[in-house]
Structure 1
Amino acid sequence: MNRLPKTRDYANGGVSYWYREIGLPDRRAPLPGARDYDVAIVGGGYTGLWTAYYLKKAQPDLRVAVLEKEFAGFGASGRNGGWLSAEFAGSRKRHAGARGKQAMIDLQREMFRTVDEVIDVARAEGIAADVHKSGVLHVATNPAQRRRLREEVADLRRWGYGEADFHLLTRDEQRDRIQVAATIEAAYSPHCARIQPAKLAVGLARAVAALGVDVYENTTVTEIRPRRDGKAQAVTGRGIVSAEYVIRATEGFTASLEGRHREWLPMNSSMIVTEPLPADVWKHIGWAGGELLGDQAHAYVYAQRTADGRIALGGRGIPYRYGSRTDDRGATRTRTAAQLWHMLVRLFPAAADARVAHAWSGVLGVPRDWCSTVHLDHESGLGWAGGYVGSGVATTNLAGRTLRDLVLRRETELTALPWVGRRVRQWEPEPLRWLGVRTIYTLFRTADRRENERLSRTSAYARLAGLISGR
């Protein structure tokens, strides 16, 4: 029996399951013409909204605007896997190279606190986002994955992680939490919470507007200009917005801005969600704690047990489109949905009779060195944050608080963190960019296949992919 819906069910005008559950928000009015502000933020996702939120909380008389092409929360903020996680994108060694090892440890500790910061703000603002802090499990299903998982635990000890922050589980401890087929090793961290991402995005946008931020939707920014005659500018088809500072918070859609085509690579990720699973299936799987779940494969998957008793699982679909094009409608190919379904059934055989209720895709931003960054140049009036490589739900909050301090010229512990001011080279021109990404993911898939068959250590194909990618 076919458990997948027909292809047309996947093209829902950019709608993730999270928005199908709550309904699309009513759109706010677009920019009415040329305007002047203290801070203009381009992009109405988590980064832009958190930045606006913390700026207005810190200085209520500040004139702040958010400019969004679609509606606030339309992009990855409303389509992600719902991992409010302290995991941080990029090489710790690279970040430590900027300001030392202790600075990277400080950054990680701040990420731990950021998970609770988001939870606290959601509670204070009355944002009911199905938040459930129960940690994250990483499972290994073959000897090569187990070796990587053990090496990761050992490496994290050198970067300030204590036993309580991330540790291996015994077989009984793992089985008591969740039954994942073929698991031979598992590790657990408490620094993660499940959220319903669209609920968080909609609630945060509402809170930002209530503080007096002007949120303009259906407003496409085509270019960001440095200061001219004392003001930076965001250029739109509805007028030019001038501001002391213009903050770029466009993540995977950065390539659509003039002159930013090679800045960050727009990477696609896809998800499926099942229908609600019956009690007898949950009895077999367990997962009563609602932990987030990821594996150690190179083409990794990420999953959550939703508040209404479904499994939502994601992974890479078509990772990159030629010319940094983006499909902002969220359409998902049948082939991609089928691949994700096979992954889900491989991990949870007990769910094999469930139907897939919905599939969707989103776009995330990848810098050339795969390291997240936040920056503000007081001379040009331009700032930005992003490059989260899929780990942005919590990192966006830290970015917003850091941009607040940078805009207000505060020297704080946040502005001293090593990701602040980080600059990387651009991605290669086409066709090298497309060929490179295609090669990388072909090598990763081959590596996973070989590791599943017989290897006890990481495949040479994966090591080669890592060299090409620059991770």
Structure 2
Amino acid sequence: MPTTPSSYADLSLWHATLGEPLVPRASLPGSGEADVVVVGAGLTGLWTAYYLVRADPTLRVVVLEQEIAGFGASGRNGGWCSALFPTSWDALVAAGGHDGALRQHRAMQETVREVGRVAAAEGIGADYVRGGTVTLARSAVQLERLREAVGTAHARGFTEDDERLLDAGEARSLLDADGVLGGTFTPHTAAVHPARLVRGLARVVEAAGVRVHERTRATRIAPGRVETDHGTVRAAHVVRATEGWTDRLAPRAVVPVYSLMVATEPLDEAAWARIGLHDRPTFTDGRHRIIYGQRTADGRLAFGGRGAPYHFGSRVHPSYDAEPRVFDDLERTLRELLPQLGDAATGVRFTHRWGGPLAIARDWAASVGLDRATGLAWAGGYVGDGVSTTNLAGRTLADLITGTASDLVDLPWVQHRSRRWEPEPLRWLGINAGLMAMTLADAEEERTGRSSRLARLMAPLTGGH
């Protein structure tokens, strides 16, 4: 069932701190026609609309959204606009050679800057600060893994300006976490307020003539049309930009996996003097189970991670956004990482808990493409790296749809098609086993002091690069 308008502010910290009312736009008034119809008013759909009308202001572009712009992962994520790309290096090389793989990653680095440029030019107050990312090593095993990762990156053609190893003192000067032995730093990440970014982008595309219809659920996508609960829109090009909700329209193309977050109350300057993050770098560490955090513009710590289960049948439901066990674990993890926060009884308070689904393709490869025979286009499978990748997808889709020859349309991820996920119950068993394996791998390393054999065994199944 649709979410009631009064609850939209409760979706996340980001929605709660937007500073604007979350009133849905008008639904589709009935059947009609367009040149391009986009399903999904998240960042993929809105960036696509933005670059389409910039390329050709005469295009009739319609964006359809079952809830409100920024309802999904685009408005609930960790606020990392990064050059991280989920597809493995070997897969990119197989698709486009070494130079193609390098171009893909360079395009991602440029995309981080492009998001900042557009936000500034269009007056979108997204709290964009390109402070980079610090990855901490808090064990000898993690330090060695990070050292190998930097060496591998340099061997592939990246430089110290892209990623460099930090000693313990350098790492602690960025984030004074417990037990730090070293780390890495990359400048190719910006911290953003994601809901302000996506909601601001929706206003910009509307002002440019794009029709955005909210509370309009697409029930079927087919060549030349999108059927909805309010009528059918016919168009030469149809763009599927539904990410975690894709299974409803394209079964088994991707699976929705939940990532959850918590946030503290605003901290005072004395607390930040003890913690660090002075230039607002995003942060993580070298464990196998993914964690991610940032210092928000209003002085909070926003912190997230995996750990929530995959739900049988690729089901997505509002009740799955909350997993108290995972929330408790995230809060414990952040207090353990940063003892400056104190204990649960007397220390810094956590004020927000939220979550939502992201999308993962069977081969962990993000993709974007256009079937010219049918006019159907798609983008997604970002594995949580979508704040920036959506922008690259939008620019690429605009070039594909308008027939523009550019350096983007022959990047290795373009026209890639992942095979479909297995049917249930194999899907449920395999995905949840993979999620559990990362927690067990961290426990194995803590117990043995050696690199996890389990993690190496599971790497091909969990997107290991």
Q: CA deviation at 1:179?
A: 0.2
Q: CA deviation at 1:469?
A: 3.7
Which residue matches 1:308? 298
Which residue matches 1:245? 237
CA RMSD in angstroms, aligned pairs only: 1.4
SS for the counterpart of 2:17 is: helix
Which residue matches 2:382? 388
Runs of 4+ aligned structure 1 residues displaced above 3 Å come to 11-14, 328-331, 467-471
CA separation in 1, counterparts of 2:88 and 2:146? 16
SS for the counterpart of 1:38 is: strand
* 1:296-375 → structure 2 map (5 Å cutoff): 296-328=286-318, 331-352=321-342, 353-375=347-369
Cα deviation, 1:99-141, whole Å, max 9, x if unaligned, reads 2110111111111111111101000110011111111111111
Q: TM-score, normalised by structure 1?
A: 0.94
Say yes or no: does 1:277 pair with 2:277.
no
* 1:18-37 → structure 2 map (5 Å cutoff): 18-22=14-18, 23-37=20-34
**Which segment drifts farther, 427-436 or 325-334?**
325-334
Q: Kindly, what percent of the aligned residue pairs are identical? A: 45
| Paired amino acid for 1:177 | L
SS for the counterpart of 1:100 is: helix
Counterpart pick for 2:58 among 48, 58, 61: 61
Q: CA deviation at 1:13?
A: 7.4
Change (3 A) 1:266 1:178: same
| Paired amino acid for 2:402 | L
Counterpart pick for 1:432 among 426, 430, 455: 426
Change (3 A) 1:58 1:328: farther
Say yes or no: does 1:97 pair with 2:94.
yes
Change (3 A) 1:53 1:296: same
CA separation in 1, counterparts of 2:463 and 2:112? 28
Change (3 A) 1:124 1:329: farther
User: Contact 2:243 / 2:380 at 8 angstroms: preserved in 1?
Assistant: yes
Change (3 A) 1:249 1:14: farther
| Paired amino acid for 2:253 | E
Which residue matches 2:13? 17
| Paired amino acid for 2:11 | V
* 1:185-334 → structure 2 map (5 Å cutoff): 185-226=182-223, 232-257=224-249, 260-328=250-318, 331-334=321-324
SS for the counterpart of 1:120 is: helix
Which residue matches 1:6? none
Change (3 A) 1:61 1:388: same
Change (3 A) 1:13 1:308: closer
User: Contact 2:87 / 2:463 at 8 angstroms: preserved in 1?
Assistant: no
Which residue matches 1:441? 435
User: Contact 1:51 / 1:401 at 8 angstroms: preserved in 2?
Assistant: yes
Which residue matches 1:461? 454
**Which segment drifts farther, 144-153 or 120-129?**
144-153
Q: CA deviation at 1:468?
A: 3.6
Q: CA deviation at 1:151?
A: 1.4
User: Contact 2:8 / 2:15 at 8 angstroms: preserved in 1?
Assistant: no
User: Contact 1:65 / 1:215 at 8 angstroms: preserved in 2?
Assistant: yes
CA separation in 2, counterparts of 1:13 and 1:323? 28
SS for the counterpart of 1:49 is: helix
**Aligned residue pairs, count:** 453
Q: Which runs of 5+ in 2 are unaligned?
A: 1-6
Which residue matches 2:168? 171
CA separation in 1, counterparts of 2:319 and 2:120? 31
CA separation in 1, counterparts of 2:158 and 2:136? 19
User: Contact 1:12 / 1:331 at 8 angstroms: preserved in 2?
Assistant: no
Say yes or no: does 1:122 pair with 2:115.
no
User: Contact 2:260 / 2:321 at 8 angstroms: preserved in 1?
Assistant: no
SS for the counterpart of 1:73 is: coil
Which residue matches 2:84? 87
Change (3 A) 1:24 1:97: farther
CA separation in 2, counterparts of 1:139 and 1:155? 18
CA separation in 2, counterparts of 1:88 and 1:161? 15
SS for the counterpart of 2:313 is: helix
| Paired amino acid for 1:296 | G
Change (3 A) 1:175 1:13: closer
Q: CA deviation at 1:172?
A: 2.1
User: Contact 1:75 / 1:328 at 8 angstroms: preserved in 2?
Assistant: no
Say yes or no: does 1:376 pair with 2:370.
yes
User: Contact 1:41 / 1:66 at 8 angstroms: preserved in 2?
Assistant: yes
| Paired amino acid for 2:297 | A
| Paired amino acid for 1:80 | N
Which residue matches 2:49? 52
Q: CA deviation at 1:24?
A: 4.6
CA separation in 2, counterparts of 1:256 and 1:24? 29
